[in-house]
Amino acid sequence: MNTQLDWFKILTDCKNNVGKAIKPHLKTLNDPQPDLGEGAGGDAMKPVDLAAEKAIVNTLQDHNVSFSLISEESGFEKYGNNPEECHITIDPIDGTTNLLRGLPFYASSIAVSRKPVISEVYAGLVTDLYHDITYMAQENKGAYRDGERIITSQVSNLQKAVLGMDLNTYKVAEVAPKLTDLIQQTKHIRHYGANALELCYVANGLTDAFVDIRGKLRTTDVAAGFLIIKEAGGLITDVDNQPVDVKLDPKQTLKFVASGNTNIHDAILSLVKF
């Protein structure tokens, strides 16, 4: 069974090969970047996205993994003799715009699940491809940054908290008023442009929470990050404080609040209007 595989080893090999695959593309960022059409998630595909995806798929095949791929680029594909053994959900490059502009914040995200739903993810990796920092987690085995165990923040005072928040949407006039009270109570709001990695900052205690209620973010971006936060001791719910359990699909979107601890989570939810 694929649950018995050494996923830390396999995922580490994936991230190493992604780093090698995208290296040539980093040398040509100032050149015109061809548009390869629209990916399964709806965004424009670039050569660097497909290079990263190919590196992940090839690495899994080299390890003789049978899997069903759920990719933000290629959509759904099946590999191996028993592709229903596990589902691999990937965002090959999260933060492609950052990468293309030379901004040092982009990542690759890989999640392994028993079924194509976010609650069934049992192994995950998010790697900061610029700084070569890797976050990994496996179900009931904790979360790690470059092999060192990590835990979430215990900051509970919103005045002291560093809060991640994504307002990048054409619906900002509709979304922002729902967050006004929260914004007024928070002094330190951040958004870096690669949400998979921002979730890992919550897991690592670098930030205290992350809020995204746009209904725009896709499950391919957050499948690994959700597990990493949970294994680090944090929590993630919808705005009604209910568990988030949606299907893993390049077009599936979600709304959520991810926090380092219950106290700050409750404080955030009390200020979000719906």
Instruction: Identify residue 241 by its one-letter amino acid code.
Output: N
Among 94, 118, 149, where does a domain finish?
149
Element (H, E) at 208: none
The pLDDT of 146-166, averaged and rounded, is 96
Q: Are residues 175 and 142 in the same domain?
A: no
Domain that holds residue 76: 2-149
Percent of the chain scoring above 70 in pLDDT: 97
What tokens appear for 59 in the block?
């690495």
CATH value at residue 60: 3.30.540.10
What is the number of domains present in the chain?
Answer: 2
With a cut of 50, say whether residue 239 has pLDDT above it: yes
Is this prediction's pTM over 0.85?
yes
Q: Is 1 helix (H, G, I), strand (E, B) or coil?
A: coil
Domain end marker among 149, 171, 202: 149
Residue 238 lies in a domain: yes
Tell me how many degrees the CA angle 68-71-76 measures, rounded to the nearest 5. 45
Look at residues 155, 161, 205 and name the one whose alpha carbon lies nearest to residue 183. 161
How does pLDDT run across 78-136, given as a tens digit for each residue? Answer: 999 999 999 999 999 999 999 999 999 999 999 999 999 999 999 999 999 999 999 99
**What percent of the residues of the chain are helix, what percent strand, and what percent coil, each to the nearest 5?**
35, 25, 40
pLDDT at 43: 73
Which residue type is seen at 51?
A
Query: pLDDT, tens digit, for every residue of 161-182?
Result: 999 999 988 888 899 999 999 9
Give me the helices (H) in 139-260, please.
172-184, 195-203, 219-231
Give the residues across from 188 on adjacent strands. 162
User: Which pLDDT does position 6 carry in this prediction?
Assistant: 94
